[in-house]
A and B are shown apart, each in its own frame.
Chain A
């Protein structure tokens, strides 16, 4: 019997022994771009990204993937995961000491960037190594600073967009632009407004909080616990005071923003909101939203931010990830991304820095028919507050509103 317990023990030992393959680590930080390019060819890159939007998925699946294959013979594998899932994965890998990461690159924004830096889950700096980063204006505070944090080359800007409100001008000629107006609006139109318990909804709450602070830049700077406590108390009071006029009398809140789009299109709610200046254009063109849909910014301002691409600390294909990111910020890929019939996303590139041929092409892109442009809203743009605001709002929205 003892013999077998030994066998059992050794089996357990095998189970526990981590598979540490000591692959020689290339020093990609000092490698030249041609070396990187060569190494990246004929490889596979694992990209973890939020897959909640059909048009983004379409862009990735039907443009990025085939083009990468054709141009660089890189196979791009998409896995689905956003903020917390990425952080969880990185944490798990850190803990298990796995040197071969499951994903090579991730699509993130400020609060995930914050958390990934906290657990040292990102590799870099790399942004300035990418040839195409020359077209990005990293000195633009809305690009070079992510949720009040300097990006320092640890993530590469991919897109820039503003949060906007969405309404149907045929049904709501005069939508609210301040908290006071919103309060009146929900009382006159009960059941037509709600807050999604996700990234968009929390961003909305940040905009509200900024208004409560008294000025568009009231939340700028490092996280201030005292300020947060005061303002959040006001915010929860405001929400709870009015939630009986929200959708389903504030008894429940939608989980996914995609659900709000559906509700807006069926007329269930009258006021919606979202990033990409409200995401109006494609939905009107698809026939989901009526043609009278319009977007606008809050009087005190709505958040303007960038989203980024990062490389994981244990990426197995660092060179490949750099090549893919470099492609994603290329004028070519950004142009395709900007197409009105496609993603219709604002280029993160500084058009004035581009070669002449692309300059004209970008200028040729027709203006939006329905949604507002970034320029129209930029007057009312506010910076993302420090990530702790977001994290706390998430937590407290659950405690003080959902579970109250």
Chain B
């Protein structure tokens, strides 16, 4: 009886968690080699060759990684700074609710909001105009759909920082950093030393898996770069979807090649985090 339950649970796990992913990956793989797809004519390597000879995917990978990296680093730094410097204030009744509020804002709304504020006809451009800083809309700097992905990065920061602030407040409490700091102070460490040598290492160590995880999420972000990105280069998910939905039906397989490559990279990264996590756990 007990045994049976165990198996049913395991089977349900396979069906709901493993099977869909395997099917999706298998489908993309077959499509990428032209084995399936109604305008394809059978097994061919030409789509893979095409993707590898064009720089589009490579550029998109680098572009997405840099944006995600900047987004994560800035968010984490900002959150750490705020928590280390102002954590006592979060005990305040109102503030302790207010800092949760940004979590109610989804990515798509955040992107829309960034657009409304920073576009050349947006809120800040209007303000600048009224203040006589600019005379025409064009004079307002490019902050959305721009070359430097500033709009995307601003949105990423606005989405991630609140989350990391809450995370670090929790870690600060759970890891008894307050007590440790007091202890260090008693041993003669100054404020800066405590922050750099005690609080920061503990908080980073406790959160690095999440930091990497969020980096991967940003790498695959879709709606934010869809609204705030430019036409070229594009972030990975936007690029892959564009390739999958393109006009030229004979080239759809190239989109699947990209999907397969993206998935393999993400899987390897996950395996890597896992192996490191295990090592660390064993070390304890």
Known A252-B231, A253-B231: A266·B247 in contact at CB below 8 Å: no
Q: Which of B15, B39, B136, B231 contacts A402 (CB 8 A)?
A: B231
- Whether B247 contacts A268 by the Cβ 8 Å rule is no
- Whether A91 contacts B38 by the Cβ 8 Å rule is yes
- Whether A391 contacts B247 by the Cβ 8 Å rule is yes
Shortest A269–chain B CB gap in Å is: 9
Chain A 371-404 near chain B by CB (<8 Å), digits 1 or 0: 0000000000000000000110011001000110
- Whether A263 contacts B247 by the Cβ 8 Å rule is no
Interface size on B, residues (CB 8 A): 32
Chain B 219-248 near chain A by CB (<8 Å), digits 1 or 0: 000000000001111000000000011111
- Whether B121 contacts A268 by the Cβ 8 Å rule is yes
Q: Which of B11, B37, B142, B233 contacts A248 (CB 8 A)?
A: B142
Query: Which A residues touch B233, using CB under 8 A?
Result: 403
- Whether B244 contacts A7 by the Cβ 8 Å rule is no
Query: Which A residues touch B39, using CB under 8 A?
Result: 91, 118-119
Query: Which A residues touch B138, using CB under 8 A?
Result: 191, 268
- Whether B136 contacts A267 by the Cβ 8 Å rule is yes
Known A91-B38, A267-B137: A84·B246 in contact at CB below 8 Å: yes
Q: Which of A4, A88, A91 contacts B11 (CB 8 A)?
A: A4
Known A119-B39, A402-B231: A87·B7 in contact at CB below 8 Å: no
CB-CB nearest in chain A for B145: A252
Give Cα distance in the complex from A158 to B146, angstroms. Answer: 38
Shortest A114–chain B CB gap in Å is: 10
CB-CB nearest in chain A for B4: A4
Known A95-B37, A391-B247: A255·B231 in contact at CB below 8 Å: yes
B119-163 residues at the A interface, CB under 8 angstroms: 120-121, 136-138, 142, 145-147
- Whether A252 contacts B37 by the Cβ 8 Å rule is no
Interface size on A, residues (CB 8 A): 39
- Whether A268 contacts B245 by the Cβ 8 Å rule is no
Q: Taking the complex as formed, is B96 at the interface, i.e. its CB lies under 8 A from any CB of chain A?
A: no
Give Cα distance in the complex from A160 to B104, angstroms. Answer: 45
- Whether B7 contacts A88 by the Cβ 8 Å rule is no
Known A111-B247, A395-B247: A197·B38 in contact at CB below 8 Å: no
Residue from A85, A115, A390 having most chain B Cβ neighbours under 10 A: A115
- Whether B120 contacts A266 by the Cβ 8 Å rule is yes
Give Cα distance in the complex from A27 to B146, angstroms. Answer: 54
Q: Which of A11, A85, A94, A254 contacts B145 (CB 8 A)?
A: A254
- Whether A403 contacts B232 by the Cβ 8 Å rule is yes
Shortest B55–chain A CB gap in Å is: 8
Q: Taking the complex as formed, is A258 at the interface, i.e. its CB lies under 8 A from any CB of chain B?
A: no
Shortest B238–chain A CB gap in Å is: 10
A255-272 residues at the B interface, CB under 8 angstroms: 255, 262-263, 266-268
Query: Which A residues touch B120, using CB under 8 A?
Result: 263, 266, 268
Query: Which A residues touch B145, using CB under 8 A?
Result: 252, 254-255
- Whether B247 contacts A85 by the Cβ 8 Å rule is no
What's the dominant secondary structure at chain B's contact region?
Answer: loop
CB-CB nearest in chain A for B8: A4
Known A263-B121, A267-B137, A268-B138: A252·B147 in contact at CB below 8 Å: yes
A319-335 residues at the B interface, CB under 8 angstroms: none
Q: Taking the complex as formed, is B203 at the interface, i.e. its CB lies under 8 A from any CB of chain A?
A: no
CB-CB nearest in chain B for A395: B248
Q: Taking the complex as formed, is A8 at the interface, i.e. its CB lies under 8 A from any CB of chain B?
A: yes
- Whether A1 contacts B121 by the Cβ 8 Å rule is no
CB-CB nearest in chain A for B20: A15
Q: Taking the complex as formed, is A251 at the interface, i.e. its CB lies under 8 A from any CB of chain B?
A: yes
Q: Taking the complex as formed, is A347 at the interface, i.e. its CB lies under 8 A from any CB of chain B?
A: no
Shortest A244–chain B CB gap in Å is: 14
- Whether A115 contacts B247 by the Cβ 8 Å rule is yes
Shortest A360–chain B CB gap in Å is: 43
Known A83-B247, A268-B120, A402-B231: A4·B7 in contact at CB below 8 Å: yes
Q: Taking the complex as formed, is A12 at the interface, i.e. its CB lies under 8 A from any CB of chain B?
A: yes
Q: Taking the complex as formed, is B103 at the interface, i.e. its CB lies under 8 A from any CB of chain A?
A: no
- Whether A94 contacts B121 by the Cβ 8 Å rule is no
Give Cα distance in the complex from A398 to B249, angstroms. Answer: 16
Q: Taking the complex as formed, is B105 at the interface, i.e. its CB lies under 8 A from any CB of chain A?
A: no
Query: Which A residues touch B19, using CB under 8 A?
Result: 12, 15
Shortest A312–chain B CB gap in Å is: 15
CB-CB nearest in chain B for A12: B19
Residue from A15, A254, A403 having most chain B Cβ neighbours under 10 A: A403
CB-CB nearest in chain B for A83: B247
Shortest B148–chain A CB gap in Å is: 10
Give Cα distance in the complex from A118 to B247, angstroms. Answer: 12
- Whether B249 contacts A8 by the Cβ 8 Å rule is no
Known A84-B245, A191-B138, A252-B146: A262·B232 in contact at CB below 8 Å: no
- Whether A197 contacts B247 by the Cβ 8 Å rule is no
- Whether B231 contacts A91 by the Cβ 8 Å rule is no
CB-CB nearest in chain B for A115: B249
Query: Which B residues touch A118, using CB under 8 A?
Result: 39, 249
Give Cα distance in the complex from A37 to B249, angstroms. Answer: 36
Residue from B15, B146, B231 having most chain A Cβ neighbours under 10 A: B231
Query: Which A residues touch B95, using CB under 8 A?
Result: none
Shortest B68–chain A CB gap in Å is: 20
Shortest B136–chain A CB gap in Å is: 6
- Whether B245 contacts A197 by the Cβ 8 Å rule is no
Give Cα distance in the complex from A352 to B143, angstroms. Answer: 53
Shortest A83–chain B CB gap in Å is: 7
A→B interface (CB under 8 Å):
1, 4, 7-8, 11-12, 15, 83-85, 87-88, 91, 94-95, 111, 115, 118-119, 191, 197, 248, 251-255, 262-263, 266-268, 390-391, 394-395, 398, 402-403
Besides A115-B249, A267-B136, A394-B248, 11 other A-B contacts (C-beta < 8 A): A15-B19, A111-B247, A119-B38, A119-B39, A191-B138, A251-B147, A252-B230, A268-B136, A390-B247, A395-B248, A403-B233
Between-chain CB contacts (< 8 Å), 15 pairs: A1-B7, A4-B10, A8-B11, A8-B14, A11-B11, A91-B37, A91-B38, A95-B38, A115-B247, A252-B232, A254-B145, A268-B120, A268-B137, A394-B247, A403-B56
Considering the complex of A and B, which 3 residue pairs feature the smallest CB-CB distances, nearest first?
Answer: A402-B232, A266-B121, A252-B230
